[in-house]
Structure 1
Amino acid sequence: MRRWLLAAAALGAAVFAADRALPPDLSRLTAGVEVLDGQGRTLSVLPVPGGTWRLPVSVADVPPHLTAMLIAAEDRRFRWHPGVDPVALARAAVQWVRAGRVVSGGSTLTMQAARLLEPRPRTLRSKLIEIARALQLEARFTKDEILGVWLTLAPQGGNLEGLRAGSLAWFGRPPAQLDAAESALLVALARRPEALRPDRHPEAARRARDAVLLARAAGAGAVNADERALALAEPVPARRLPMPRLAPHLAREVARGVAPGARIATTLDRDLQRAAEGLAQEALRGMPDRAALALVVADVETRQIRALVGGSFGVESRAGMLDLTRAIRSPGSAQKPFLYAMAFEAGVARPDTVVSDIALRFGSYAPENFAREFTGRVTAADALRQSLNLPAVALLQEVGALRYAAALKAAGSPPRLPPGAEPSLPLALGGAGTTLRELVALHAVLGDAGRAAPLTALPGPPAPRAEVLVPHAAAAVAGILVQPFPGGGPQGIAWKTGTSWGGRDAWALGLDQRHVAGVWVGRPDGTPIPGLTGRSAALPVLARSFALLPAAPRQPLHVRPAAQPFAEAADRLRLLFPMPGAVLAEGAGPVTLRATGGRRPLTFLVDGAPLAHERARREAAWTPPGPGFYRITVLDADGVSARSELRVR
């Protein structure tokens, strides 16, 4: 007896050592990535390298009647055997001897899972290896985990593997939503995936499906008689559907670097995304050759992206793989609202301030209006609505180009200047690069009480807000821009267009109480499109984008009477320059520190040391002694302080 126990122990040790030395190869379980919308619905799937559509599937992902059918059709004793069914193997051996050929393989679902993990030629040696691997799988995994291997790898025709890929390709929905007939077809298809493809061999596919329903699954109680009758009457799919590919640019972005088989939740709305892509495709049909269109819709409060069209998807000659929402382009006049809000905040102008739109030179710079005409004397509000260039440049001269550039950076839209260039007056007219995503986030500031935050496509807690404008200055500009869309459209939308030099970029940005949206039209390679303007090309798409948004009540943006905001803004002590994150080049010479609000006299300090200046004034001159970080503080007569940090490099 002892000898037998020792022999058994030695055998067990040998089996354990062999199992550890030659573990099952699980590398084929590597799966593609699935991108979901905010409600957990499939937006897009990405294949594994090589182009195979394989997505992870667990027992929890499929309806109970599917697993019942699978077990009834393939391995009735699956829940009880240790990976190998001696009864089935014996029956298969007897049939082989009598018929002289293989009648049934005797494979359990565990053995099938082993074969799917490590495909081999169908030989006796392969069968023995499958048996050994099946025993290993049973020792390592639960029954449901083994079923998950089968569900993930079962062939479904062509380059489809697994029931999630099969369900999406043949029925256009995830496996959890399959009915009895659809489940039976996928179970049958795994046996002979090419011979039973319903798009090529519909009659063979129907017979195989019905065999699963009638001969085996029904007897095991997987479906009742009524369900079976309905299932038998269903047609098989006549064609293979394209795999989900909504928001392809964003899908590639969020899938970059994630683990294989991941399911990534986003903030997008599938219905809105589909409608936005359809709108973009329709709009492109009437545009010049090689034009492309990008679109972003986001929530003002959370900055979560609801829809994103990265380019003219599906038309490779127009946009291809480029995500044009991230392309750096000239904004034209699309940033003017932020400049006007800064001017209102600094007290340089008010909405009713009369400004001059006449031919002026600013040193060697002589800007012109888009129409090459001048309007004369207009209010600042009208100058903004009409997008007049001369008043904008004059306001920037008062605000300061360096301060304006620093404010744009603090708001998440840093101006991209040529190497070595310093911020200057052309910034007022789009003389630096930005992106559509940044412009949309910049316009959201106007609807969020002057607070800046980046857009996001991933769920999570809101990003910290940075107050870059006083609330009333932001609201005043938003109110100025509330105007009807030319040709009609939703009401209560604040919108602004922009056109870059030479007709290379056309922009339209808009917001209401809930949403902010932006549209860009142009050519991906930056070549001009004669006659292209934001008003003619991008604005109609923006109006139709707001018409797509949920039908919940949308209140128009509201602006308080003009006197009140600026009185309140003037009372609050703030540093106008430097703004948070400001950067200066070493050797740039003296700079002017500026403050607004508070009760004079004011005291300016650098790293705690006061500067000599006329204390009745709200500015002080200072020359940085060298590169480094400097803490700038201003104190008013009541001891209220405001601080910012400046970097010199």
Structure 2
Amino acid sequence: MSRASTTFVDTKQDVDGRDKPGHDGAGKRRIIRFAAAMAVVLLAISGAFAGWVASLGPLPLEQARKVSTSIVDRNGKLLRAYAMADGRWRLPVDAKTGVDPGYLKLLLAYEDRRFHSHRGVDPLALGRAALQLMTRGHIVSGGSTITMQLARLMEPRRERSVYAKLRQMVRAIQIERQLNKDQILDLYLALAPFGGNLEGVRAASIAYFGKEPKRLSLAEAALLVALPQSPETRRLDRHPEVARAARDRVLERMVNEQRVTEEDSVQAKAVSVPRLRKPMPILAPHSSDQSMATVKDTPVIKLTLDAGLQKTLEALARDRAIAQGPNISVAMIAVDNESGDVLARVGSSDYFDERRAGQVDMTRAVRSPGSTLKPFIYGLAFEDGFVHPESLIDDRPIRFGSYAPENFDMTFQGTVPVRKALQLSLNVPAIALLDRVGSSRLSSRLKQAGGNLVLPKDEAPGLAMGLGGVGVTLQDLAQLYAGLARLGTTKPLREIMIAKDERDPMRLMDQAAAWQVGNVLIGTPPPENGVHNRIAFKTGTSYGYRDAWSVGFDGRITIGVWVGRPDGAPVAGLVGRTAAAPILFDAFARTGKTFAPLPKPPKGALIAGNAKLPVPLRRFRPIGELVRTGSDQAPRIQFPLNGSRIDVDRSNDGQFSAMPVKVAGGVLPLTMLVNGIAVGEIGSRRQRLVEPPGPGFARLTVIDATGAADTVVIRVQ
């Protein structure tokens, strides 16, 4: 009985399988097979997911970083921006320095409060959004992070699906691996849509508020936070009330989260929203266009201009052009004397005025300069030492061959000091000095200093160039006048900021001569609105009343003004003194800075009245007119003759051989000068061998013991 019972029990255990031999091995094998199958499935899913991620390709960062080209001034202020090729406005943003910190705090609190801690995806935000959707039946808050929104902006898609959201999450993780948080925020702030063709917080702030987003009110900040969520349905120029309601919801939520006080919220809600877009800034349009043509593929081009001064002078030019009459335009340029940087350039009175050819840059247009070249004639005369500001000079009818210059008012002043002759812009004294200085020498010296004079085709420099018979641009005139302020050296004008400035100074005239010119010009009687002895300036009027000029400088800045018709038509009564000079003095007054004094006289500058000048300097005498002292005959250069061409042999090393100079008359000892530099004395034989300075024009001067002198100009070849 016991044996049968034992057999029954064993059979049951076998049926239950509890003690069946090999059972543990079979179970383990099933588990292993299941795990292996799951691993294969997971591996397949992982492989497929990895393949899908790989199929997405690299992040389109290069395309996302494309922005509108921005032209900024020397301090980084926006002068002008150019829309992208597809018409969108997208301006680069630096969140740290270019955006209101209050706006950034509001944005992150509303859109992504854990922005600085998550890795692209915020599981808590996603879970909260899903729970709100299930419990309330509609979207209360989104689960997308700033990085996920950036991913969507980089690869815009219309559909809203699980696939699209998954793609954003993957891209967000990739973005976080390649960019730091500051770069992500900058890129988001540049790409976020604000309605129409506005992208980025800078474009939106400028278009809606007319200012950079550096300082925003609470109402403005809340509005900019609300717009990107639904930019088209909240466009301010189409749906301002919808935009206002969205802004108010942002404020309410911030109050609920205790980030904004109730009082501040109420005040912000009371502010109306803009209903119209403001135009993008277009300061310095001509300079901007020129820089765009010069600098390629650069998102931000920095100019030397000062936005404040540029805006002031543009307004002045516009107002004065309207006052001058129809079709008349005004151009101005302001240059820093020390650096040669262009601080303001107004190419026309109105860039968009077709009647005034507004898009033509008249600061670069070649026009007749009138009398504005006269100071350089006097400067070279001072440099050569045959005249002084206190010397006397005749203003009488005179003829140079077939050319008989006349003064603007058709009268003559008689004998006047050289200082007065320049201040009154008398024509006859200027031409007499130019005849002695030499037209070719004046032309080559101005060209050497950066002033490109344009002569009629196949025409050589002549005396008429002293009265405007030549072409020049306003910017070249400004560069030359700045050279007077710099005591004789010019610097090429610079308008585009570059890392390394390699401009070398160029010689205009010696220091003493440049100072003497400035000292004379500062005494020129100013126009009715001007202050005496503050600005050294000169006016000019071209032939036929086509161009009115005024160029002046103080110790800090040089400003040039042109008034006329861009088409070159004459304008009755258009005179530099009445049309351009008042604008010049207004421009100086509106720079916002006090007048800077001119430089002090340099060493070697002769400061004396006429009576105390050396005898040869007391009165200017044209070439060939002898100076007599007592009963002695003044010295006279017999060879070479004035105006002659001298062929001089060259040695093997290229040096010119000496040429003979013969002198008659004069009281010994006789001093010989070549181009104003003493080269020795001439003995009793009254002749000497002189080494020419090189090919080109040379000025030979002989001075005797009494101070009597004679000068000839020759051409060495």
Q: Normalised by the size of structure 1, how large is the TM-score?
A: 0.82
Is residue 80 of structure 2 the alignment partner of residue 44 of structure 1?
Answer: yes
2:515 equivalent in structure 1: 475
CA apart distance, 1:234: 3.5
CA apart distance, 1:97: 8.2
1:489 equivalent in structure 2: 530
Structure 1 residues 592 and 49, CA gap change in structure 2 (3 angstroms): farther
2:478 equivalent in structure 1: 440
Moved more, 37-46 or 92-101: 92-101
1:166 equivalent in structure 2: 204
For residue 488 of structure 2, the aligned residue among 450, 462, 475 is 450
**Partners of 2:52 and 2:456 in 1: CA distance:** 69
Three-state SS of the structure 2 residue aligned to 1:431 is coil
**Partners of 2:141 and 2:250 in 1: CA distance:** 16
Contact 1:69–1:184 at 8 Å: present in 2 too? yes
Moved more, 549-558 or 143-152: 549-558
CA apart distance, 1:298: 2.3
Is residue 565 of structure 2 the alignment partner of residue 523 of structure 1?
Answer: yes
Structure 1 residues 13 and 107, CA gap change in structure 2 (3 angstroms): closer
CA apart distance, 1:131: 4.1
Three-state SS of the structure 2 residue aligned to 1:367 is coil
Q: Normalised by the size of structure 2, how large is the TM-score?
A: 0.75
**Partners of 2:530 and 2:417 in 1: CA distance:** 26
2:658 equivalent in structure 1: 611
Three-state SS of the structure 2 residue aligned to 1:278 is helix
Structure 1 residues 618 and 68, CA gap change in structure 2 (3 angstroms): same
Alpha-carbon displacement from aligned partner over 1:318-346 (angstroms, at most 9, x marks no partner):
13222211111111111110111101111
Structure 1 residues 101 and 208, CA gap change in structure 2 (3 angstroms): closer
1:508 equivalent in structure 2: 550
Is residue 581 of structure 2 the alignment partner of residue 539 of structure 1?
Answer: yes
Give the count of matched residue pairs.
606
Moved more, 38-47 or 316-325: 38-47
CA apart distance, 1:263: 3.6
**Partners of 2:531 and 2:653 in 1: CA distance:** 50
For residue 341 of structure 1, the aligned residue among 360, 379, 394 is 379
Q: Which blocks of at least 5 consecutive residues in structure 1 are unaligned? A: 571-588, 595-602, 621-632
**Partners of 2:318 and 2:532 in 1: CA distance:** 25
1:563-578 equivalent positions in 2, closer than 5 A: 563=608
For residue 295 of structure 1, the aligned residue among 332, 357, 369 is 332
Alpha-carbon displacement from aligned partner over 1:459-504 (angstroms, at most 9, x marks no partner):
5758432332122211212222223322132332221111111111
CA apart distance, 1:128: 4.9
1:97-496 equivalent positions in 2, closer than 5 A: 106-124=143-161, 126-215=164-253, 217-218=254-255, 222-223=259-260, 227-258=264-295, 262-317=299-354, 318-458=356-496, 463-482=503-522, 483-492=524-533, 493-496=535-538
**Partners of 1:250 and 1:305 in 2: CA distance:** 10
Contact 1:37–1:268 at 8 Å: present in 2 too? yes
Aligned amino acid, residue 504 of structure 1: R
Alpha-carbon displacement from aligned partner over 1:280-339 (angstroms, at most 9, x marks no partner):
111111213211101122222233333221111244221322221111111111111011
Structure 1 residues 339 and 50, CA gap change in structure 2 (3 angstroms): farther
Three-state SS of the structure 2 residue aligned to 1:286 is helix
Alpha-carbon displacement from aligned partner over 1:11-30 (angstroms, at most 9, x marks no partner):
797477545x4542642432
Is residue 105 of structure 2 the alignment partner of residue 68 of structure 1?
Answer: yes
Structure 1 residues 491 and 367, CA gap change in structure 2 (3 angstroms): closer
Three-state SS of the structure 1 residue aligned to 2:479 is helix
Contact 1:481–1:496 at 8 Å: present in 2 too? yes
**Partners of 1:25 and 1:295 in 2: CA distance:** 43
CA apart distance, 1:186: 0.7
**Partners of 1:619 and 1:142 in 2: CA distance:** 70
Alpha-carbon displacement from aligned partner over 1:81-101 (angstroms, at most 9, x marks no partner):
443445655666787789998
**Partners of 1:427 and 1:473 in 2: CA distance:** 21
2:640 equivalent in structure 1: none
Contact 1:281–1:312 at 8 Å: present in 2 too? yes
**Partners of 2:260 and 2:694 in 1: CA distance:** 70
Moved more, 325-334 or 425-434: 425-434
Aligned amino acid, residue 486 of structure 1: P
Q: Which blocks of at least 5 consecutive residues in structure 2 are unaligned? A: 1-34, 618-642, 663-670, 682-689, 698-715
Three-state SS of the structure 1 residue aligned to 2:660 is coil
Aligned amino acid, residue 355 of structure 1: I
Contact 1:25–1:118 at 8 Å: present in 2 too? no
1:552 equivalent in structure 2: 594
Three-state SS of the structure 2 residue aligned to 1:193 is coil
CA apart distance, 1:221: 5.9
Moved more, 341-350 or 497-506: 341-350
Aligned amino acid, residue 489 of structure 1: G
Alpha-carbon displacement from aligned partner over 1:82-129 (angstroms, at most 9, x marks no partner):
434456556667877899987776433223222222322234365454
Alpha-carbon displacement from aligned partner over 1:203-257 (angstroms, at most 9, x marks no partner):
3322211211221x44556545565454344333354322222222223333445
**Partners of 2:645 and 2:263 in 1: CA distance:** 84
CA apart distance, 1:378: 2.7
Contact 1:68–1:222 at 8 Å: present in 2 too? no
Structure 1 residues 287 and 136, CA gap change in structure 2 (3 angstroms): same
Moved more, 605-614 or 182-191: 605-614
Three-state SS of the structure 2 residue aligned to 1:490 is coil
Aligned amino acid, residue 636 of structure 1: V
Contact 2:552–2:560 at 8 Å: present in 1 too? yes
Identity of aligned residues (%): 41
**Partners of 2:651 and 2:531 in 1: CA distance:** 49
Alpha-carbon displacement from aligned partner over 1:500-547 (angstroms, at most 9, x marks no partner):
111111100111222221100111122222221111211111121121
CA apart distance, 1:444: 1.6
Structure 1 residues 604 and 176, CA gap change in structure 2 (3 angstroms): farther
Contact 2:70–2:301 at 8 Å: present in 1 too? yes
Structure 1 residues 610 and 467, CA gap change in structure 2 (3 angstroms): same
Three-state SS of the structure 2 residue aligned to 1:365 is coil
Structure 1 residues 604 and 418, CA gap change in structure 2 (3 angstroms): farther
**Partners of 1:223 and 1:591 in 2: CA distance:** 89
Three-state SS of the structure 2 residue aligned to 1:169 is helix
**Partners of 1:634 and 1:468 in 2: CA distance:** 17
Q: Which structure: larger Rg?
A: 2
**Partners of 2:323 and 2:147 in 1: CA distance:** 57
**Partners of 1:472 and 1:152 in 2: CA distance:** 56
**Partners of 1:642 and 1:191 in 2: CA distance:** 81
RMSD of aligned Cα (Å)? 3.9
**Partners of 1:327 and 1:421 in 2: CA distance:** 20
**Partners of 2:576 and 2:652 in 1: CA distance:** 45
Aligned amino acid, residue 244 of structure 1: P
Structure 1 residues 130 and 635, CA gap change in structure 2 (3 angstroms): farther
CA apart distance, 1:140: 2.2
